[in-house]
Chain A
Amino acid sequence: MIRVQREVFETGVEIETMTSGRTDIGAVVSFTGLVRDFNEGTTVSKLTLEHYPGMTEKQLEKIEREANERWDLQGSMIIHRYGVMELGEPIVLVITASAHRQDAFEAASFLMDWLKTKAPFWKQEEDAHGQSGWVSERREDIDALDRWEKK
């Protein structure tokens, strides 16, 4: 399941929703990305995320489908926010559930690595002086994909 929304989400509530009443799930992994106050050596006071409505949902659904094909998952969820975000607020949530921990761990990592380089979102940061600038792509994010290449 995927959700693209402006509103803040609560990680605990989302995990509870996925696992409630289920006895086939033995492992749940979640990753939450937060707005932090620095990037590439500058102070950040606010973050705005632009996205491509329609294509964003399509890409996230495709990434989620791929994860479910590669790992044995009992459940998966991606939530990604757009719009204006304050420091400390959550940006993105990935939850994976499986019978054994390895599938959930690997699938969660895979989902984050893929969405970082494929989902059409763009971050714009504002510093303490109100100056804003677009965030650049990171080489590490592209390299992170290599380990998921099918051998």
Chain B
Amino acid sequence: MEPLKPASLTLRKTPPISTREFAELRRFIYDLVGIDIPERRKYLLENRLGPRILQLGLRNYSEYLMMLHHGPDKNTELKYFFTKITTNETSFFRDTKQLDVFETHVLKNVLQECEAAGNKSLHIWSAGCSSGEEPYTLGIMLHEILRMSIIGWKIQITANDLSPDMIAKAQAGLYGEYALRTTPKDVVDRYFIKETQGYKIHPKVQKLVSLGLINLNDKLAVKRVPKSHIIFCRNVIIYFDDAVKQKLISNFYDNLLPGGYLVLGHSETIHKLSRVFQPLIKPGGIVYRKST
């Protein structure tokens, strides 16, 4: 058995991306999904996409771009492409403090207002739902607040993500220990079914959630989302530049019903981007409200 020869070790495994190809790909991604890949991430992009190019038997990134633009399977490939340029790290009941703020100061109020107005229907939009942890957490929260009276409500949580992989995972609703690491044990017992393959979200929660793909940079797609009482968009806007963020925030504003709420990730604020929302600053998090 010969020892490993250091000289045979190389970092380069895939075709190099040329300056022109990088510029074109950068433009393509920005126009499509509004994410700007700065120059310093060139090699990261190369590392993420390179193996796919080899797998498809292509010679370079120009050919790959051609395929994304004009290929017969371009829609299928685009879905794959999206999973390569986005990433996701979430868990159930992540950021519990922010969720507490949300439950106490937002969700309970909204439910009361709906009930007082004699309209027991609620729409929450989880924009950027990753593998489903967030919308299911919201579904569990609603069950916990409303208990048996939930049957009298018409509730829909629309959950969207750019990555088809993530939506497929959310649809399966099957999670490992890691995703449940911040979930209280009694909640796991009541809302998950232990299976050999993992913890499966209970159908009574799953039926509240309607999953689908979305490109938040696509104004028409965003317009098709039903009007919401609450929008959750956590840890998504960090991927966008200010111009796209602004566009997105204004689309969210249009989607919200009067008095509706926008909830962003813990370290995200929009005060530099938009003044149309009224921020409610609570210990543990900020939520934004559209005027009534």
Query: Are A and B interaction partners?
Result: no
